[in-house]
Structure formats: C-alpha cells, structure tokens
Structure 1
C-alpha cells in the first residue's frame, strides 16, 4: 500500500500508514503501479553501453578494411601512390614486349648490354619508364608502347619523378645510359680519338699505359697505344679510328672493332 502523505510503501492490508499514521486508500483495480526511476536508468545505461560496443566494433572493422585497401593500392601500384601502371612482377605474360623483362627485379650486367645498338639501348631504358606509365611523345616509342596491352600512359615528362624507380631500375638505367652514351660517338679531334682508344682497351681488359696520335688519314685518326717500360716505350697497337667509332688495325687493315 502506498501512502500519499509520506510517500512510503506499507505492507499490503494496512489501513493506516506505519510511518505517519495517515489513512491508506486501497489501490484501484488496474491502477498503474509506481514508476521505478532506478530501473529505467539501469535499462537506459545498458542500452547506451550496447550501442557503444556495436559502434566500436563497426569502426574497427571499417578501419581494418580501409587499411587493407590502402595496402593493396600501395602494393599494386609499385613505388608511388596513385600509379596504376606499375605492378611488380605482373609482366610475365608480356615478356616478348621487353628487351629485358626482369629489369625491374634484377641487376643487368655489362655483358647483358654490350652487344646492344643505340636504338635497342634506348628502348631498354624506355621500357623501364613505361612500366610506371611514362607518356612518350615521339615515335617509334609512342607507337610501340601504345600497342602494348599492359601499358597505361599516365604521366607526362614534367609529372614523372625518377624517385619512383626501385633500386634495380635506377642502377639498370645508369648502366644502359652509360652504354648508350658510349655508342653516341662523333670523334672529331685527336684527344677524342685517344680517349676512345683508351676506353676501348679498358672495357676489353687490354689496358695500356697510354696512347698518342700519329696524325690523320683523311678524316680518320692514327692512334698508337703503348706501355711505358721505364727505359723505353713498347708499342702495343696502332689503330685507325674513324669518326663513327670503327677501329681498324693500321698495318693490316683488319677490323678490330665495329661500332654498333
């Protein structure tokens, strides 16, 4: 029984309040029972905690999904964000399109490039750029790579950054560029002819102490290589070097080296 006077509960059947003595009025049938505020607060708190837990789990799952997406984008796009062209190891099915299919995964050796002519050397350089979506403005490279199924033209020359290359590509471009520059010769002076002869000897493990020019024959240079023996100089070769980089033995006229 509920006392309206002191607001306290009394045992059922009491006619008067045990606390204040006020007359108790019996509850009408179907009358609503006292509203339990403490129970309501407990229920609300439980609902809030459950909602918070569900929200936290959802955020964690979403966060992990986003991280996975970023990882996939980074790993599939190679060395720079947003690049959709470069995918390491994804060119196995297109090996015939490349001079060096593995130049993004292994170091090239001098023996790999020494027989390349100038055009093929430049092509080998350009295919490294093409993997990263470098756009080519001039033929034959523009037409060639446009016909490659794997090629995705993405970056102009101004937009492209060499820092996107991995360590293999960087070293291989350096090697190929050096070889290309060696092929691009125009021997137009005695000093250039002497240096050309010495470089040839060095690359072919036939180094000499020095070289001198004995004059010209038309547009060709007569170069003598020697070793300094201390008391005398020993001639090791006499070559005729053309402006295009061909080397002939001066005495016998035999071709020593045909420039690519």
Structure 2
C-alpha cells in the first residue's frame, strides 16, 4: 500500500527528472547561440577590414591616375626642349660651315704668297673633301689643282702658272714628267677639284 510519504517521494523524484531533462535541452541551444555570435563577430570584422582595403585601393588608383596625368604632360615639355636644342645646333652648324669656308680662302691666300706654302698641303696623301675646297676662289682652286702636278716638276704651258710655281722654293722643273707619274690618290684629287669647279661654276683659265 502506497503511503502519502511514498507519493511525495515519487512526485519529488519526477520533478527532479523533468528539471534534468530541461537542463539537458538548453545546453546545446546555448552552444549554438554562442557559435552564431562568434560567427557574426568574425563576419563584422571581415566586412570592416574589406571596406578599408577597398578604400585604400580606390585612393591608390586615384593617385596613380593623377600621377599618370602629370606624366603625360612632361613629354610635351621635353619635346619642346629637344626641338630648341636641335634648332640651336643647326644654327651653330651653319656658322661653322661659313667659318670653315672663310678660313679656306684666307689660308689659300696666305699659301699663295708664301714661297714654301701649299694651298692644299696634303693633297698628295689623302682624299680631298668638299669642305677642303669650300670658300676658295676660282683662281685658288685652279692653282691648288695644278699644285699637285707642280710637286712632280711639271712644266706648264700657261705663263701665269709657270710664273707662279717658279716662285715656290719647293718647285723643281722636270721635263720628263708625264701625267701618268701621279699616284692614284693624286689623280683622283685633280679630278675631284676639276669636278668641284664645274659644279660650282668656278672654272678658271690661267693666262697663256
């Protein structure tokens, strides 16, 4: 027979079992809630960091665009500077050519008056260039051309040329001289001077 005391004990035992069951149910719920909170915190931090990175990238891109725009302007200034330098150099080149031509004429005049002088001192040893002849008069060019022959003692039919070379201390007559006695370089230089005279309308006929 169940007494009142026994009934109370059974009820009390049932209550404790129900409490234990409720406690066991809330434990996993609490764990799940904790995981969700941690996930939200991590997600929030990630969004904040990503947002900052995007802002930095945008700033860098804007800065790069600004730098690129500035760089695009510089080449134009450089081109202008290069163009100015080129023009100056061109002007200097022209002045240099004019000076060289003037020097050639003056040097030839001095050489013609000098008993030991040669209008073209190395015309027997190197190939002449137009710059060597620039500025000379038709007479100076003619004397320079015949100077190559005179080195070998050629006797000239022209009294003007013969009188001129007779005044040179280095000139010695050679009645046996022939044009074939010229070296290849000397022959080329005489032809070069003759062609230069013709091209520049500077041909000269010495007096007979």
Q: Which has the higher strand share?
A: 1
Same fold (TM over 0.5): no
Q: Which has the higher helix share?
A: 2
Rg: which structure is higher? 2
Give TM class, smaller chain: 0.3 to 0.5
Could you tell me the TM-score, scaled by structure 1's length?
Answer: 0.32
